[in-house]
Amino acid sequence: MALKLTVMNKRNSRRRSLARSPRREYTVYVEPTRGKGERPYLPQFEPINLKQIQRETGRVTVNNEQEIVRTVLLRLDMQQTELLRALGLDTPRPDYVQAFLELAKIHHGMGVLLVERARASNNHAAKWSREQDAILKSNVAVRRQRGMTATEALRDIAKDKDLYLLLPVAKHSRSEKPAAIRREQNYKKRLAFILKRDAAENEQSKIIEGLAKIEGRQLAARKRNLTVLGKSRSSKS
């Protein structure tokens, strides 16, 4: 997930056009602290060897040799096209600001916003999916609405065979307690984890939504400025 933000210099006169206004653009890349995506492969280029090009073209000097100049420019264009493709950008009409921001992220970590995600379970813990978390949380909520306490709701779920068969079973338990009690304790720990995780993610989501709103306002402002600029030019012509 990426949010592109543009910060305009507020000290500029309102009479200056949008195109001439100094600005800085940022892209915020939202990544989880765990399970990060792999860094994309980007090509590495060797320096262009001018003497080699001279030999290839049969020339001995660079002075006024258009063929050598065209060859160098062709090599540069091929390199740039390959790099833009690797970045997933439009090669016929590249956005060079976005290309810079992408490279700054990949090579320097600029603009990466880490959001907390659930810590991976250890090898001895039962594996819970998000769907199973939702099942447990929603069933506790339904029972709480009926007047049960959280403990009573978990105990009821632990005794409901149709329900607990949908949930993970705690592994490698050496406890001699009845299975229903072990399930209840397992669900209690998981519910506490779910509530803590959801609270943290909700807080982070609000911040990300705030950044997205800034992006939306900036985009709308740019469109308004471009419209005003277009009308101004039309009236002059």
Mean pLDDT over all residues of the chain? 78
Residue 91 lies in a domain: no
CA distances from 32 to 26, 76, 109 (A): 19, 36, 14
38 pLDDT above the threshold of 80:
no
Assigned token pair, 100:
């810079």
Residues 172 and 234 in one domain: yes
Q: 103 with 149, same domain?
A: no
Are 150 and 237 contained in the same domain?
yes
Task: Tell me the two tokens of residue 123.
Answer: 């090898």
The mean per-residue pLDDT over the stretch 89-99 comes to 90
- Between these two residues, 171 and 145, which has the higher pLDDT value? 145
224 assigned to some structural domain: yes
Among the listed ranges 38-47, 81-90, 100-109, 168-177, which one has the minimum average pLDDT value?
168-177
Let me know if residue 92 belongs to a domain.
no
Residue 212 predicted with pLDDT over 90? no
- Per-residue pLDDT band at 220 (split at 50, 70, 90): low
- Comparing 89-98, 168-177, 180-189, the range with the smallest average pLDDT is 168-177
**Residue 105: what pLDDT?**
86
Q: Do residues 141 and 33 both lie within one domain?
A: no
* Residues 154 and 112 placed together within one structural domain of the fold: no
What is the model's pLDDT at position 15? 46
What pLDDT score was predicted for residue 189? 92
Would you say residue 230 lies in a domain?
Answer: yes
- 47-53 contacts at long range (C-beta below 8 A, 24 or more positions apart): 48/72, 48/75, 48/76
Same-domain pairing of 178 and 216: yes
Whether residue 127 contacts residue 95, with contact meaning beta carbons closer than 8 Å, is answered with no
User: Cα–Cα distance between 187 and 164 in angstroms, integer?
Assistant: 10
Percent of the chain whose pLDDT exceeds 90: 34
Residue 230 binned pLDDT confidence (cut-offs 50, 70, 90): low
- Give the CA angle between residues 113, 101, 220 to the nearest 5°: 80
pLDDT at 140: 95
Query: Looking at 1-5, 42-46, 137-141, 173-177, which range is the least confident one?
Result: 1-5
Q: Are residues 80 and 127 in the same domain?
A: no
Alpha helices in the chain (DSSP H): 50-57, 66-86, 96-108, 130-145, 150-159, 161-164, 179-236
Domain identity same for 149 and 222: yes
In a domain, residue 186? The reply is yes
Q: Is 20 within a domain?
A: yes
Q: Is residue 17 part of a domain?
A: yes
Q: Are residues 27 and 64 in the same domain?
A: no
Residue 1 sits in the same domain as residue 107: yes
Q: Is the pLDDT of residue 59 over 70?
A: no
Number of domains in the chain: 3
In a shared domain, residues 162 and 78: no
Full residue range of the structural domain in which residue 63 is found: 43-86
> What is the reported pLDDT for 77?
94
Nearest Cα residue to 137 out of 119, 159, 163: 163
Q: Tell me, yes or no, whether 36 and 2 share the same domain.
A: yes
